[in-house]
Structure 1
Amino acid sequence: MEQIMNYVKPELIIVAIALYFLGTWLKQAAFIKDKYIPFVLGIVGIFVCGIWVAATSSFATAQDISLAVFTAVVQGILVAGVSTYTNQIIKQTGKSE
């Protein structure tokens, strides 16, 4: 987890926390199968990170746009991964063997 956190922008840690709670809600709501929850979190993470990138970047050249898209996708996947990883740590530590 520490290795992943080195790549997540500090401003986007709150997105990982929000995705954790969204995933918990989706699990309880039961209208989405469990196997699709990480995929949904990834899409939402990319979308939210895309909003952040659009708000904090300038788009003067095609290179700027490409970098913004790349950053949004990578950060979205990373924050979704952090939220899923956190969920699994909590689940696994609660299990008795």
Structure 2
Amino acid sequence: MEQIMNYVKPELLMLTVVLYFVGFGLKNAGAVKDKYIPLINGAIGIVLCIIWVFATCSCGTLRDIAMAAFTAITQGILVAGLSTYVNQVIKQTTKEE
């Protein structure tokens, strides 16, 4: 967990909590099957990271744009993964054996 946290931009850590609640809401609403929730969270995470990265960078060249897109996609995947991790930790710690 600590190694993953080294790769996530601190400004984007809040998205982990946001995605956790999105997933929680989707599960409770029964709007989609459980197996699709991580994919939806991943897509939302990538979109939100794209918005943040492009809002905070000055992309002057094609190389800058490509780097910003790569950063946004990887950060989106990481925060979605952390959200799923948080969900599993909560499930496993509250589980009775």
**TM-score, normalising length from structure 2?**
0.98
- Post-superposition Cα deviations, 1:35-72, rounded to whole Å, max 9, x if no partner, equal 00000000000000000001111111110010011001
| Structural RMSD (CA) | 0.6
**Which ranges of structure 1 fall in alignment gaps of 5 or more residues?**
none
CA distance in 2 between counterparts of 1:33 and 1:81 reads 18
User: Which 4+ stretches in 1 moved above 6 angstroms?
Assistant: none
Partner of 2:15: 15
Letter in 2 for 1:34: D
CA distance in 2 between counterparts of 1:18 and 1:11 reads 13
- Post-superposition Cα deviations, 1:1-51, rounded to whole Å, max 9, x if no partner, equal 111111000000111110011010000010110000000000000000000
- Secondary structure at the residue paired with 2:96? coil
Partner of 2:64: 64
CA distance in 2 between counterparts of 1:3 and 1:93 reads 21
CA distance in 2 between counterparts of 1:31 and 1:96 reads 28
Letter in 2 for 1:76: G
Partner of 1:44: 44
1:28-43 matches, within 5 Å, as: 28-43=28-43
1:78 aligns with 2:75: no
Q: Shift in Å at residue 91 of structure 1?
A: 0.1
Partner of 1:24: 24
**Which ranges of structure 2 fall in alignment gaps of 5 or more residues?**
none
Q: Identity across aligned pairs (percent)? A: 62
**TM-score, normalising length from structure 1?**
0.98
